[in-house]
Copies of this chain bind each other. A is one copy, B any other.
Amino acid sequence: MAHATIRDVARRANVSVASVSRALNGHDNVRPELREKVKVAARELGYVPHAGARSLSLARAHAIGVMLPDLHGEFFSEVVRGMDRAASARGLQLLLSNMHADPEQAVDAVRTMRGRVDGLVIMAPDIDTATLIEQLSPSLPAILINSRSDTPDRPRIRVDNEAGAEAMVDHLVDTGYRHIVHIAGAACNAEAADREQGYRRAMRRHDLEPRVIAGDFTEEGGAKAAEALLADRRGADAVFAANDMMAIGALVALRDAGIAVGREIGIAGFDDIPLARLISPGLTTMRVNIADIGASALNRIAAIVDGDDDTDSEFRHPELVVRASTSRRAEQ
Contacts and interface: CB of A to CB of B under 8 A. Distances in A.
B95 A48 contact: no
Given A219-B278, A278-B248, A278-B252, A112 B52 contact: no
Nearest to A138: B46
A76 B77 contact: yes
A291 to B, nearest CB: 11
A116 B62 CA distance: 11
Classify chain A's interface size. 35 or more
A52 B55 contact: yes
The quantity of this chain's copies bound in the complex is 2
Nearest to A256: B280
Nearest to A105: B88
A100 interface: yes
A88 B100 contact: yes
Contacts of A63: 95, 116
A61 interface: yes
A239 to B, nearest CB: 16
28 contacts: A1-B138, A48-B111, A50-B56, A50-B115, A51-B112, A51-B113, A51-B114, A52-B61, A52-B115, A52-B116, A53-B56, A56-B56, A62-B112, A71-B77, A72-B77, A73-B77, A77-B80, A80-B80, A80-B96, A93-B97, A93-B113, A94-B95, A95-B96, A96-B96, A219-B274, A252-B278, A252-B280, A255-B280
Interface of A: 1-3, 46, 48-56, 61-63, 71-74, 76-77, 80-81, 84, 88, 93-98, 100, 105, 109, 111-116, 135-140, 219, 248, 252, 255, 274-275, 278-280
Given A48-B137, A72-B81, A96-B96, 8 more contacts: A1-B138, A1-B139, A46-B138, A51-B115, A62-B112, A76-B77, A88-B105, A93-B113
